[in-house]
Chains A and B, each alone.
Chain A
Amino acid sequence: MFTYSLKRLAIAIPTLLVLIVVSFMLMHAAPGGPFTSEREIPPDVLANLNAKYGLDQPLWRQILSYVWGIVTQFDFGPSFVYKDRTVNQIIAQGFPITLTYGLISFALAVIVGVSLGVAAAVRHNTWLDYIAVGTSIGAQVLPNFVMAPILVLVFTLWLGWLPGGGWQGPEYWIMPVIALSTSFMASIARITRSSMLEVLTSNHIRTARAKGLPERRVILRHALKPAMLPVISYLGPAFVAMITGSVVVDIYFSTGGIGKAFVDSALNRDYAVMMGVTILVGALTIFFNLVVDILYGWIDPKIRY
């Protein structure tokens, strides 16, 4: 178990380094420098600017010092557009917000999705099953950028129940969370249902029933754990997609999370912030995949470490 976790970690670290180096190279190769503008900058000033941001050094030293800054001090350097702000400050402003609605959405999607899937599988071929399958198929074609305008249309414009945007209190959380979690809830419900159906026909469930265990105990204790394996392996990609979805949520609901920082910097060509956000999200992704892998190895005894 321990060596298995170590092995996974040994893949995770080079992945992160590759991500940092690749995004740095991309930025370096992009046409136009960060100080390219309509106004001609005097060469002396340009030289000073380049020296300040370390752009006069050879490429390998730039990469090395960038990586070194991130690894040792968690420092993504200064913003290219806002003179008085560092990338860290910009990220620190939006990240807690993204984390708040992201985690709520994630928890909601897992809890509701799994319950719905289990209920549908246990009551296979009843009205409950059909409703669960129907809604999850329907929700699959409603990604966040489709849900967001529909929610605003219904709950803000027609019914007037919820504020259309901003980030001031729990009532501002509702629509972002629903928009973000719906399609994942549906996918989790579908995966849970089909894997639960498969587990319920297996031998160990028949044995558990034959020895007279109450149905509740059969489901929760004997069926749920093996049925969770495909769901767990879906959680990694789902988490990534949710973080990505924060871009849409931030734009549409003006929640001011990390997605806003990313899009703003994309429109300003503030490469430093874009890279900072990309690397942070990449690190989160890699960390989350690591947790999922370890969890998977812990639940499934068939996986050899």
Chain B
Amino acid sequence: MVATTENNVATAQVTKGRSPWADARRRFFRNKAAVFGLLLLVIVTLFALFGGFLAQWSNEELDYNVMGQVAELGGPSIASGHYFGTDDLGRDLFARTVQGTQISLAVGVVGALIAIVVGTLYGATAGYVGGRVDGIMMRLVDILMAIPYMFVLILLLVMYGRSITMLFVGVGLISWMDMSRIVRGQTLSLKGREYVEAARATGVSAPVIILRHIVPNLAGVIIVYATLLVPLMILTESFISFLGLGVQEPLTSLGALIAEGAGTISYGTVWQLAFPLLFFVLTLFGFFFVGDGLRDALDPKDR
């Protein structure tokens, strides 16, 4: 009897089961595009965090040597310390691109975090409670979805002043709706499971069931859609900054830098558009590839 137990323990150790997360990790790292995307994201993040230490100039300093002759002297060069050239006023574009990348990433991540918290709680509550409450909550989302949010967001920014807080609020206001729909759908299928029934039978209250039993099982879906949300938030912010309604000077974002570069394009200063655009494209590519990879790895539907 004792021997068989030991034997069982021994076999259990030999054929150690893989957890679903380890499984997903393996699938993710087999996906070349996803790994490439992850690499891009690592590079962009390192650039945003540590690029400032490499810069020879701060993002606010004006280089009086190139002022007025930016098209001739302000180009990218190692000798002058302007690796990416200067902008139209003679500020170092490298330092400004670092800062722009930081802000764009921050907006994207904050937008996605708001979506995770608000969207998950809203969707899980609607799905778990069900019935008329669900109907009302989801109709409300339907109504909000039909509002041209970009126009409303611009309306908000104009009326209540342009600030980065307002931008975060605005981006957060619109980001949670898709997430809440997805989470609700998943919750509907989860709430009939035995472990939820068991929790309910032992008298666990609804909020605790939602937080302890439903939400952790939604993690995969939430992570996937949050990753795909980040680039959309960055696009939204860039769009607004392109219009000059987003981040205000001396702060800058990739969208604002692209707008500046686009505005001065006819003076022959292509680098002012090219470098911010490069980081913009790399960031978006990275998030899209990683998001797609995560979906393939985590979404049980597509297996």
Contacts and interface: CB of A to CB of B under 8 A. Distances in A.
Interface stretch (A65-73, A89-97, A116-124, A140-148): A140-148
Interface string B12-25: 00000000000000
Contacts of B243: 247-248, 251, 263
A207 interface: no
Contact of B288 (A137, A271, A285): A137
A191 interface: no
Contacts of A243: 148
Contact of A149 (B142, B148, B152, B273): B273
Contacts of A148: 262
B150 A244 contact: yes
Nearest to B270: A153
A36 to B, nearest CB: 13
Interface residues of B, number: 36
A26 B155 contact: yes
B285 interface: yes
A244 B239 CA distance: 10
A19 B147 contact: yes
Count class of interface residues, chain A:
35 or more
A9 interface: no
B242 A269 contact: no
A281 interface: yes
A45 interface: no
Contacts of A157: 265-266
Contact of B148 (A18, A252, A281): A281
Interface string A144-166: 01101110110001000000000
Contacts of A210: none
Grouping DSSP codes into helix (H, G, I), strand (E, B) and loop, the A interface class, with mixed when no group exceeds half, is helix
Contact of A15 (B143, B152, B158): B143
Contacts of B235: 143
B78 interface: no
A12 B259 CA distance: 36
B270 to A, nearest CB: 7
B146 interface: yes
B238 interface: yes
B265 to A, nearest CB: 5
Given A27-B159, A266-B245, 17 more contacts: A11-B143, A27-B155, A140-B288, A141-B285, A146-B258, A146-B281, A149-B273, A152-B262, A247-B150, A263-B243, A274-B155, A274-B158, A275-B155, A278-B155, A281-B148, A281-B151, A285-B146
Interface of B: 139, 142-143, 146-148, 150-152, 154-156, 158-160, 235, 238-239, 242-243, 245, 255, 258-259, 261-262, 265-266, 270, 273, 277, 280-281, 284-285, 288
